[in-house]
Each structure stands twice: as C-alpha cells, then as structure tokens.
Amino acid sequence: MYQDILTAPFLREMCETTANLYRLGWDERNGGNISYLIDEEEVSKYLDITHVERTVPMSFDAAELAGKYFIVTGSGKYFKNVIANPSVNLGVLRIGKDGRSYEILWGFEGGGVPTSELPTHLMNHMQRLKVDANHRVIMHCHATHLIGMTFTHHLDEIEFTKTLWEMCTECLVVFPEGVGIIPWMVPGTDAIGEATAERMKDVRIVMWPHHGVFGAGTTMDETFGLIETAEKAAQVYTIVCAQGGKKQTISDRQLLDLAESFGVTPRPGVLQA
Ligand code: 2HA
Ligand code: ZN
C-alpha cells in the first residue's frame, strides 16, 4: 500500500520552505516558485505512478528530463497558503517521454497548473544537471534587498559579486563562483528561461533585475541557504549605504586568503592579487 503523501519528506520540505520564504517577506501574494527533482523510487512510495491525472503540452523541449519527477509550486498560488493546503498549492509531475509535455500525478487540485516560471525551472534543471549530477532544487523568490540593489548598484556581474563578497565574510565561501545577472525581461517566457539557464552554466545564483533571484542547489537547505546568504549581504549593503557608505572593507588580499583557507576558487576577474 501507499504511504500518505502529506507525510513525504519532499512534501514537508516544500511546505516548510515556502512558509519560511513567506515569513521572510520574499514571496508576497503569488510571488516565488520552487521545483524539486525527486527519485521515482521515492515518489512510488506515495503514489501510483501509472495513474496520470492530466497531461499538459509544453512549448519547449525538455527531452533531457523525460521521465523525471518534480514537486512544484502552483501557478497563481500563494506561498502563505501552501502549508495549510498542499494538495491545492503544490503538485507532482513527470516530464512526458516526448519531452514536450508533463503529466500531473498528484496535487494542483481544482484545475491548477505548475508555476508560470516552469520554462525557467526546467531549463535550469537541464543546465545544472549537466554540470552537477547531484543537482535537485531550483528556487525563485523576491528577496527584498537583492531587488533593491538592482536599482542602486551597477548590474555588472563582477562588480555585483565583489560587493556581495565584501558585505559578509561568509559570502565568498558560500558562492565562490559569484552571481549571474540577466537583463530585465518579461517573466514567464521561454526566452527568460533560456537566458537564465545560459548563466546557470557557471553560477548557482542568477539575478532578475527589478524582479528577484533564482537559486540552484543539491538540497532544499543548501538552495535556501544560498539565497539567504546573498540576501543578507544585500541587506548589509543597504545599511552600509544608508549609514553613509564604506569607510573600510575586506581587502582583495584578505578575500584571497579566505578562499585559500576554505579551499574555494573565487571567480576569476573579481579579486586582484
Ligand atoms: O510566480 O514570482 O516570477 C510568480 C512569480 C513570477
Ligand atoms: Zn517572480
């Protein structure tokens, strides 16, 4: 017999993470979306995987993900409400054999569909799996201070990365590859998905100027922690600017020493030896 999916660790993690993102003020209204790659073996403990509720066509090719399972937040759904009503606000889907459709196996009750950012999520999964076999999670949120920085700071990736690294000593260790930034684009489109996935080749954080941030990781905790760390640095930057600007900072030499001590390789071009 099947176990109750409401007790599944992957579902509990989705509930806890959406609640945390809401509590932190990073996902107002229907803002934000998460997709989490889960093993067939894990899904099979809770669901009859031969039973498909609905099949929905997709406008892009996700053949590399054919047969893979994801738990995903719903389009137009509020993170605030996920914990009280997971079967309406979340769904489990499998990418069709043709790579041009997905099959809903559970959730999205009442006729819901996956997040409007599904193209970006799936394209990012394809990209991250190419460079990291342990990749599992794509997370999008409207992290307040990071969005603020996209108005006040240069949108050059090297400069943006350097500022974040300087604001909290931990940043360089958590994201040594720095951040990616794409131009402002209309959300929910295949085009913004392609642009984001292109940057996900060598970074795990991509900024959407005046909108939010995408993070990628191997676990829910790691992905949340990545965004949380970048957002904390952006918050410190906000306070530093409000206090009148930097009088001193962590020097490039000190950041290089930090990288060496923690065994990470800083993105080339940010620090001068
Ligand atoms: O799902 O955040 O980018 C709402 C959004 C779209
Ligand atoms: Zn958004």
- Which CATH number covers residue 81? 3.40.225.10
Q: Give me the residues near ligand 2 (ion), CB cutoff below 5 Å.
A: 212
Same domain, 194 and 235: yes
Report the distance separating Cα 256 and Cα 207, nearest Å.
24
> Are 150 and 229 members of one domain?
yes
User: What is the whole-number distance in angstroms between the Cα of residue 63 and the centre of ligand 1?
Assistant: 24
Catalytic residue, chosen from 117, 157, 228, 231, is: 117
**For a substitution probing ligand 1, which of 121, 140, 147, 196 has the most ligand atoms within 8 Å of its CB?**
140
Last residue of a domain, one of 115, 135, 153: 115
Nearest residue (CA) to ligand 1, atom 5:
31
Residue 230 CA to ligand 2 center (angstroms) comes to: 17
Structural domain of residue 8, as residue ranges?
Answer: 1-115
Residues in CB range of 174: below 8 A, 6 or more apart: 225, 226, 229, 230
Q: Are residues 131 and 90 in the same domain?
A: no
Of 117, 141, 184, 185, the residue with max ligand 1 atoms within 8 A of its CB, to mutate for a pocket test, comes to 117
Ligand 1, atom 3, lies closest to the CA of 187
Query: Do 111 and 196 belong together in one domain?
Result: no
The answer to whether the annotation marks 211 as part of a ligand binding site is yes
- Provide the pLDDT for residue 75: 98
* pLDDT tens for each residue of 251-261: 999 999 999 99
Q: Kindly list the averaged pLDDT for each block of 10 residues, start to end, along the chain of length 273.
A: 97 98 98 98 98 97 98 98 98 98 98 98 98 98 99 98 98 98 98 98 98 99 98 98 98 98 98 94
**pLDDT value for 121:** 98
Sign of the torsion formed by the C-alpha atoms of 59, 65, 71 and 72: negative
Cα separation, 273 vs 47, whole angstroms:
55
CA torsion sign for 107, 77, 126, 130 is negative
207 with 94, same domain? Answer: no
Measure the CA–CA gap between 121 and 139, rounded to whole angstroms. 8
Dmax over CA atoms of the chain, in Å, equals 64
**Shared domain check, 229 and 164:** yes
Specify the pLDDT at position 88: 98
State whether 165 and 76 are in the same domain: no
Total number of domains constituting the chain: 2
> Is 153 annotated as a binding-site member?
no
Last residue of a domain, one of 115, 146, 168: 115
pLDDT of residue 262: 98
pTM of the model: 0.98
Among all ligands shown, which has an atom nearest to the Cα of 212? 2
If asked whether residues 147 and 84 sit together in one domain, one would say no
pLDDT score of 30 = 98
Structure tokens at 263: 């065994």
Catalytic, 117? Answer yes
Q: State the Cα–Cα distance between residues 104 and 75, nearest whole angstrom.
A: 14
Same domain for 212 and 257, yes or no, is yes
* pLDDT at res. 185: 98
Query: 171 and 95 in one domain?
Result: no
Judge contact between 123 and 58, C-beta under 8 A. no
SS (H, E, C) 133-175: CCCCEEEEECCHHHHHHHHHCCCCHHHHHHHHHHHCCCHHHHC
User: Which residues have a Cβ under 8 Å from the Cβ of 248 and sit 6 or more positions away?
Assistant: none
DSSP string, 89-134: HEEEEEE-TTSSEEEEEEE-TTT--B-TTHHHHHHHHHHHHHH-TT
> Which residue in this structure is represented by tokens 């990545």?
226
Tell me: is residue 210 an annotated ligand-binding position. Answer: no
| End residue of a domain, out of 100, 115, 130 | 115
Pair (8, 98) in one structural domain: yes
User: What is the number of the ligand 1 atom nearest to the C-alpha of 116?
Assistant: 1
The pLDDT assigned to 175 comes to: 99
Residues having CB within 6 Å of any atom of ligand 1:
30-33, 115-117, 140, 187
Residues 94, 160 within the same domain = no
Closest CA to 107 of 133, 123, 87, 127: 87
For residue 214, report the distance from its CA to the centre of ligand 2, in Å.
Answer: 9
